[in-house]
Structures are given as structure tokens and as C-alpha cells.
Structure 1
Amino acid sequence: MHTVWKGSISFGLVNIPVKLHAATENKDIKLRQIHKECHTPISYEKTCPGCDKEVKNEEIVKAYEYEKNKFVVLDQDDLEKLKKETEEKAVEIIDFVDLEEIDPIYFEKSYFLAPDAGGGKAYQLLRQALEKSGKIGVAKIVIRSKEQLAVVRVYENTLLMETIHFPDEVRNAGDVSIPDNQNITKKELDTALMLIKQLTTPFEPEKYSDDYRTALMELIEEKRTGKQIVEADEGKQPAAAANVTDLMSALQASIDKTKKQPKAAGAGGRKKAAAKPKVKQEA
């Protein structure tokens, strides 16, 4: 597994040499833009609209736009100095908290932490201590010149580090326009709760898959091998949605539909499917 970072975990006076590995991967299908006539990939040049000319990399500097078209220029020496001052190769655990205290909106990206040379025993000690206490560590780390807030927790037999957003990076939910009380009746609420109960099941991630990505890959493979593309069997098309005109009817129709569907088999009897994220285009 590719190592993306090397450093240490520190809490109190304990220091554990570790390696960082990405725990997730992006499986988007990336589509290139090419010239229709000759099939050459399209590239984009860096140009300055003010000077109307192409700009070389050495002519580009970084700046902060504090007002419209007003910038503070930051040269490379300024940025390198800040980088050296903050980029200590350590996951510094500041506090230990309960996982349930952190809302999922804060979580960003996951990494596996593996012990580096000489860190095996201390690594296992921290893992077992976290597992026994039921706590997770809140830490700070600098990755690629960016300071990140993170949590360290146990995942199966490893330590997992998940970067999380700083509080000022999470937008205020109060800024979202929400309609006032819509006079929900007790019958509507009870029916909604009944529907939730009928659809409640243990979370089994292997049963979920990206149908669009699968269909797109099949289309690409058919075109690649020169096979004729056929339309889907009409019998396999999803049934048209009922023309439901009010909330209660929608809830009741959903409940009736779930009653007719037998409960799926457990994880052991279900075919596993790899995670298949969404498709996006790449320039």
C-alpha cells in the first residue's frame, strides 16, 4: 500500500513512528475531452486575459484576493517559511473524546496508520488503550502544507486517522431557508414512523452499488469490443411511479410496497459488490 506520509503519533510523552496510507480510493470513471475530428486529447494553456498571451509557470505567483481585483501577493519565500514553522511530522493528539460527540458533517478523509520501524509495541499499546477505553483521539497534523484537524480511532485491527473540518469550515445550518410548521398531523407522523420501521435493516455496505457506473462501464466495453448496443428488456424497466397526490397517500403506498417485498437475505446470502462512486468528467 502506497505511503503518503511518514511521521509519528504523539500523546503526552509517548511518541510512535507511523506511516500514513489512504484508506479510501476514488473510483470515478474519468472521461477525457478529445477533438471529434482527429481524436486528439484537448489541452488547456495558461493564458492571461489582461495581456492576451500565454503565461509560463515561472511567471505565476500566488495571491490572496481581499477585495474584488485587489490582491496581496505572497512570494515563495513567505510560504516556505510558514511551511517550515508548521510542518512538524507528527500527529499530535490533544484530547480524547467519545466518537458520538462528533457529528458526521465534520468528517472528511480517512487514512490507515501503520507502525514504522521501532513503533510496533507503542502502536499496539495505543490501539488497545483506545479500544479498551472506547475513546478516540483528537489531533492536529500538517499534510501538504495544510494544517488539519483529525481524529485517531480503532478500525478493525488498525489505527485509522480521519481528517475533520475545523468549526469555521462548517457552514451555519441557520442560513438554510426552512419552511415553518407545516401542521403535520399525528396520523401522518405515525405513518411515516411505520414506514421507517419497515425499511429499517442492519447496515450492510456490500449490498449497495452504483448502477450508473456499472451501466457506463458496460457501454464503454460494448463500444470497445465493437458489439452492437441493444436496448434494455422492457420487462426489466422500473415500474412507473404511482400518481400520488398527497403526503398520506405517498406514505401509505410506500408501506404497502414494502409489505409486498420479502426481506432480503443476510450478508452471507447476498452477492458482494465493490463500491462504485459517481462518474465525473475530466478536462
Structure 2
Amino acid sequence: MHTIWKGSISFGLVNIPIKLHAATEDKDIKLRSLHKKCHTPIKYEKKCPVCEEEITADEIVKGYEIASGKFVILEDAELEQLKKATEEKAVEIIDFMKMEEIDPIYYNRSYYMSPNEGGMKAYGLLRKALVESNKVGLAKIVMRSKEQLAIIRVYQNTLLMETIHFPDEVRNVEEVPNVPAEDQTSEKELDTAILLIDQLTTTFQPEKYTDDYRSKLMEIIDSKRTGQEMVTVAEKKPTNVTDLMAALQASIDRTKPVEEKKTTRKRKATTKTKKAQ
């Protein structure tokens, strides 16, 4: 499993060298956008709309928009210095709590944690302590130039880190429009709804659920592939040859008058020489 981060977990005076591995993966089927005429993949270029020029990476700077069309420019050196000052490659557990106290709306991404060299015993200690106490650790970590909150918990005998949103990253629920203040349901309607919920209640078995849309889309793709219903990208015309021929022709056209003038001058000079003789 690919390692995406190396560092350590610390709580109190205990330090555990660990590695992070992505616990989930995106299974979406990625479709390319093609030119309908020739089936060539569309190319997206970074272009300045004012200068009408294609921009290279070294011509791009970071800016924060403080008002419409007004930016504060941040230099790469300033961002790098800030990153070094905050990124200590450590997951610092600052509190412990019950997992039920954290609403799932805060959850972001999940990462498996494995012990790095010399961290086996301390890793096992933290894992057992979390299980016995029925608690999770709340930690801070800097990843990809962003400080994040995270919870450390045990998942199937493995320490799992789940990054969670800061409170100000969760939008105010009071801003959700058209939410009724009170329920306007009859007792009979409520009883029927509860009965339906009871009938559909089961234990969570993740393998029971599949992505039906993805499966059907793959069926369509496979049927087109086996039926040879495929398109081929049109080959790009050798424009450089055309440009070379055009340049050669233009050069020939440009030199024609000059050669004629030189020939005329030579003829006049020859005539004058013969007359002089």
C-alpha cells in the first residue's frame, strides 16, 4: 500500500513513528471530453484573458482576492516559510473523547496508520489503550500546506486517522432555506412512518451495497468495446511541413524580383561594355 505521509503520533511524552496510507479510493469512471468532429481529447490551456497569451508555470503567482479584481500577492518564499514553521511532521493528540460526541458532518477523509521503524510497541500500546477506554484521540496535523483536525481511532485492529473539518468550515444550518419549524403530521401518519422504518431496519453490511450506475455504465462501455463500436483519434496533420513549404514558396516569391533586377542590370552593363569597345 502506497505511503503518502511519514511522521509520528505524539500524546504526552509518548512518540510513535508512523506512516499514512489512503484508506479509500475514488472508483468513479472517468470520461474524457472529445472533439465531436475528430474525436481528439480536448486540451485545456492556462491562458491570460487580457494578454491573450498561454501562461507557463513560472509565470503564475498566488493571490488572495480582497475585493472584486483586487488581489494581495503572496510570494512562494513566504508560503514556503509558513509551511516549514507549521509542518513538524507530527500528529499531536491534544484531547481524548467519546466518538459519539463528534457528529459525522465533521468527517472528511480516512487514512490507515502503520508503525514506522521502532514504533511497533508504542503503536500497540495506543491501539489497546483506545480500545480499553472506548475513546478516540483528537489531534492536529499539517498536510498539503493545510492544518487539519483529525481523530485517531481503531478500525479492525488498525489505527485509523480521519481528518475532520474545523467548526467554521461547517456551514450554519440556520441558513438552509424552507425548513419547517414544526412538524404538521397526524398520529396515524407518524405511526405508519415508524412501522415502515421498523420493517426496513437491518444491520449494516457494506458488501450488500453496490454502485449500480457505475456497473451499468461499465456494461455499456464493455458492449461497445466488444462490438468494436469505438472511435479513433484523428492523426494531427503535419502542419510543420505545410508551414515549411509555405515559407519556401514565400522565399522563392520574394527573391524573384531581385533576381530579375540583377539580370537586367547585368544586361545593361554588358551592353555598355560592348558599345565602349
Q: TM-score, normalised by structure 1?
A: 0.79
Change (3 A) 1:159 1:182: closer
What's the offset of the Cα at 1:41? 1.3
The aligned counterpart of 1:10 is 10
Counterpart-to-counterpart distance in 2, 1:179 and 1:69: 39
Matches within 5 A, 1:100-139: 100-139=100-139
The aligned counterpart of 2:58 is 58
What's the offset of the Cα at 1:207? 0.9
What's the offset of the Cα at 1:181? 2.8
Matches within 5 A, 1:85-104: 85-104=85-104
Counterpart-to-counterpart distance in 2, 1:74 and 1:136: 38
Bigger Rg over Cα? 2
- For residue 30 of structure 1, give the secondary structure of its aligned residue in structure 2: coil
Question: What letter matches 1:190 in structure 2?
Answer: D
After superposing the two structures, state which structure 1 stretch, 185-194 or 88-97, moved more: 185-194
- For residue 224 of structure 2, give the secondary structure of its aligned residue in structure 1: helix
The aligned counterpart of 1:193 is 194
Counterpart-to-counterpart distance in 1, 2:83 and 2:228: 54
Question: What letter matches 1:23 in structure 2?
Answer: A
Matches within 5 A, 1:72-87: 72-87=72-87
Question: What letter matches 1:147 in structure 2?
Answer: E
Question: What letter matches 1:7 in structure 2?
Answer: G
1:104-135 CA deviation, whole Å, 9 max, x = no partner?
A: 00000000000000000000000000000000
The aligned counterpart of 1:71 is 71
Counterpart-to-counterpart distance in 2, 1:202 and 1:225: 40
Counterpart-to-counterpart distance in 2, 1:189 and 1:38: 58
Counterpart-to-counterpart distance in 1, 2:217 and 2:164: 33
Q: Which consecutive unaligned segments of at least 5 residues does structure 2 have? A: 230-277
The aligned counterpart of 1:264 is none
Question: What letter matches 1:52 in structure 2?
Answer: E
Q: Greater helix share, 1 or 2?
A: 2
1:23-73 CA deviation, whole Å, 9 max, x = no partner?
A: 000000000112233322111111111112211111110000011111110
Counterpart-to-counterpart distance in 1, 2:53 and 2:228: 46
1:174-233 CA deviation, whole Å, 9 max, x = no partner?
A: 1112123352111111111111111111111111111111000010011111179xxxxx
After superposing the two structures, state which structure 1 stretch, 119-128 or 33-42, moved more: 33-42
Counterpart-to-counterpart distance in 2, 1:64 and 1:85: 21
What's the offset of the Cα at 1:146? 0.9
After superposing the two structures, state which structure 1 stretch, 151-160 or 185-194, moved more: 185-194
Counterpart-to-counterpart distance in 1, 2:184 and 2:84: 58
Counterpart-to-counterpart distance in 1, 2:90 and 2:146: 13
Question: What letter matches 2:194 in structure 1?
Answer: L
Change (3 A) 1:2 1:184: same
Cα RMSD of the aligned pairs, angstroms, is 1.1
Counterpart-to-counterpart distance in 2, 1:81 and 1:182: 54
Question: What letter matches 2:185 in structure 1?
Answer: I
Matches within 5 A, 1:21-32: 21-32=21-32
- For residue 31 of structure 1, give the secondary structure of its aligned residue in structure 2: coil
- For residue 39 of structure 2, give the secondary structure of its aligned residue in structure 1: coil
- For residue 41 of structure 2, give the secondary structure of its aligned residue in structure 1: coil
Matches within 5 A, 1:27-42: 27-42=27-42
1:127-147 CA deviation, whole Å, 9 max, x = no partner?
A: 000000000000000111111
Q: TM-score, normalised by structure 2?
A: 0.80
The aligned counterpart of 1:202 is 203
Matches within 5 A, 1:216-255: 216-226=217-227
The aligned counterpart of 1:211 is 212
The aligned counterpart of 1:237 is none
Q: Which consecutive unaligned segments of at least 5 residues does structure 1 have? A: 229-283
